[in-house]
Structure formats: C-alpha cells, structure tokens
Copies of this chain bind each other. A is one copy, B any other.
Amino acid sequence: MPTKGDLTKQRILDVARELFYKKGFDATSTAEIARGASISEAAMYKYYKSKRDLLTASVQPTHFVEDTSDYSTLTNNELVQCWTALFLEKVEKNLPQYMILFGESVKYPELSETYLATFHKETLADIEVQKRIKTGHFPKLDMTLMQVGMIGALIAMIQHLVIYKKHDDLNSVPPKVKEVISSIISGKFFN
C-alpha cells in the first residue's frame, strides 16, 4: 500500500512529465512543477534531487503492450499490418514519454539509454519480421532506424496538426496521422 510520500512523489512525476512534453524541459521551471503538484520547491527536492533526475524519471514507460501471438503463419501483408498496429499502440500509450525522449535526447543523450533499454524491446512481431528479412522475404533494412523514423514522423505530424489547430491535444494520435503512416508502411502509396 502506497504511503503518503509515495503518492506525493508520483504526483510530482505526473506533473513534471505533463509539463516537459507540452512545453519542453528547458522551458519548464521547477517552481512550475512544484506549484502544479501543490508542494513547495524545497519539499520537491526531497523526492528528486535535481531537475535532471526528474527528466530521467519522466521518460520511463507507464503502459505496456501484450504481444503473445504466433505470427509465423501470417502472410507478409498480414504480418505488416499486425506489426504496425502493435507499434502504433505502444507509441500511443506512452506518447508523452516518446515526445520527451525524441525532443530532448540530442541535448541529454543519457535519455537515449531509456529508449533502447525500455522501449525498444523486440516484440514477437519484430522477430518474425527479422526472420523474413534474413530469408529474403523482406528487403534488408535497419529495423531500429526505421522505427525511430516512424516515431519521428508521427510526432512531427501531430505537432503540425496541433500548431495549425486541426487537432487539439498533443496526447493522442489523430486518425489522419494513422492513415498516412499505414498507407506508407503498407506500400499502398506510390505503387
């Protein structure tokens, strides 16, 4: 059972994550976080010893996607659809973390460790794709790099729609964006 302290710590983290992904790390002040969490700055520093500490904590995944299916019997096309859906679900469920990671990793490279250590676990669908690449059923392609690109594309499109007020929340993936991604990945476009 969580103590009062645990709850406070969690509340601070939730506020920090929210601010980091909406305003960016540099533009968020510790005073703002403390205010949001209804606590003094001094008290906050008992839970997290620095702002950087809070950044690291804020990119840890909060939701996980189950992936226990057997993909070996699927056609290439079915596999791709499953793989994409799985990938999108994982990203969508942890979108704030992905946005912080991709926005701040150049400046704070230690964050990228989190990406590889916790987000880029290979799913069964990934492994099946890798296998088919090896056997020549898919062309050779760096899957990690490709996933990085897909996330970059997703985030850029969401931000674009938010800036032009065609979408009002950074924390969900608009249908239009999913549409573009699916079209491109499945090769429906330009063929």
Show the binding face of A for B, using Cβ within 8 Å. Answer: 23-24, 26-27, 76-77, 80, 102-103, 105-107, 109, 112, 138-139, 141-142, 144-146, 148-157, 159-164, 170, 176-177, 179-181, 183-191
Q: In the complex, which residues of chain B have a beta carbon less than 8 angstroms from the beta carbon of A183?
A: 139, 141
List chain B residues, Cβ under 8 A from A161: 145
**Contact of A176 with B27 at beta-carbon distance under 8 Å, contacts A106-B162, A138-B189 already known:** no
Given A163-B112, A184-B184; A190-B27 close (CB under 8 Å): no
Q: How far is the CA of A26 from the CA of B176 in the complex (A)?
A: 31
- CB pair B149–A156 under 8 Å, yes or no, is yes
Given contacts A152-B157, A190-B138, contact A177 B103 (CB under 8 A): no
What is the CB-to-nearest-CB distance from A148 to chain B, in angstroms, rounded to a whole number?
A: 5
Contact of B103 with A164 in the complex, beta carbons under 8 Å: no
**Smallest Cβ distance from A162 to chain B, in angstroms?**
7
Please name all residues of chain B whose beta carbon is closer than 8 Å to the beta carbon of A184 when the two chains form the complex: 146, 149, 184-185
Nearest B-chain residue to A26, judged by Cβ: B26
Residues of B within 8 A of A149 (CB): 153-154, 156-157, 177, 180-181, 184
Q: 17 A-B pairs, CB-CB below 8 angstroms?
A: A24-B26, A24-B106, A26-B26, A105-B159, A141-B179, A142-B180, A145-B161, A145-B180, A146-B184, A152-B153, A153-B156, A184-B184, A185-B190, A186-B190, A187-B189, A187-B190, A187-B191
